[in-house]
Structure 1
């Protein structure tokens, strides 16, 4: 499930700026949708990396805080792909704040309010070995 839509990106970045950030052709009249999709994909994978092990992925429904996080990360990626232009301080700050937020979610300080509310273990098998019990309840009861 996608964390954000193209419309979410369009609301965060003005269309003219999005055209300049995403399209390498100076004569282009439309933003390059494949570049925008790549920015969103990378942002979603980064968010999933922080959430994996704490929540069962994919999340359904997607909390709005994650939608905003993906938009901020994708916006930063789009600005960063233009080395000739400086990344605005607001874009840098929103990325730093988003990473801090993802770290607090990962560490359990902030929860997403998902229906389970429980940390989900990584999928996989766990094997445990132990020695047989040497002292039973009857022996411990005599002490």
Structure 2
């Protein structure tokens, strides 16, 4: 399931700017959808990297917070394609905030509110070590 669509990207970036960021032809009249799609793919893979192990992927339905995260990450990626122009501070800030949010989701501080209400367990073995028992049943009998 896709986290965001081309329409979502178009709502976040004005059409003229999107043409300039995505299309390498200076005379282009339309955004390059293949370039935008590549940015969306990279954003989704980054998001999945943070969610993997905590949630069962793919998520269905996709929470809106992840749609917004994918849009912000894609927008940043598109601006970075143009190294001759500085990335606007608002774009940098939204990316930084999105990564912090994803880290919070990964660490379990923020949940996605999935229908099951539970996160997938972390994979791996759990080992527990404890000291020798000091009070057995016979000794506890004296305290009753």
Fold-level similarity (TM above 0.5): yes
How far the C-alpha of 1:99 sits from its partner, in A, is 0.4
Residues 55-100 of structure 1 show CA distances to partners (whole Å, capped at 9, x for unaligned) of: 1001010000000000000000000010001100000000000001
Q: What are the ranges of 5 or more consecutive residues in structure 2 without an aligned counterpart?
A: 128-135, 140-144
Compute the TM-score of the two structures, normalised by the length of structure 1: 0.86
TM-score (norm 2): 0.86
Q: Give the match for residue 33 of structure 2.
A: 33
1:7 aligns with 2:45: no
CA RMSD in angstroms, aligned pairs only: 2.1
Query: 1:63 matched to which residue of 2?
Result: 63
How far is 1:104 from its partner? 0.6
Question: In the comparison of the two structures, how many residue pairs are matched?
Answer: 135
Unpaired stretches in structure 1, ≥5 consecutive residues: 129-139
Give, in whole Å, the separation in 1 of the partners of 2:46 and 2:121. Answer: 19
Secondary structure in structure 1 of the residue aligned to 2:42: helix
Q: Partners in 2 of 1:127 and 1:51 — Cα distance?
A: 21
Cα distance in 2 for residues equivalent to 1:7 and 1:114: 24
Over 3 Å off, 4+ runs: 125-128, 140-143
Q: Distance in 2 between matches of 1:127 and 1:111?
A: 23
Equivalences for residues 1-143 of structure 1 within 5 A: 1-121=1-121, 140-143=136-139
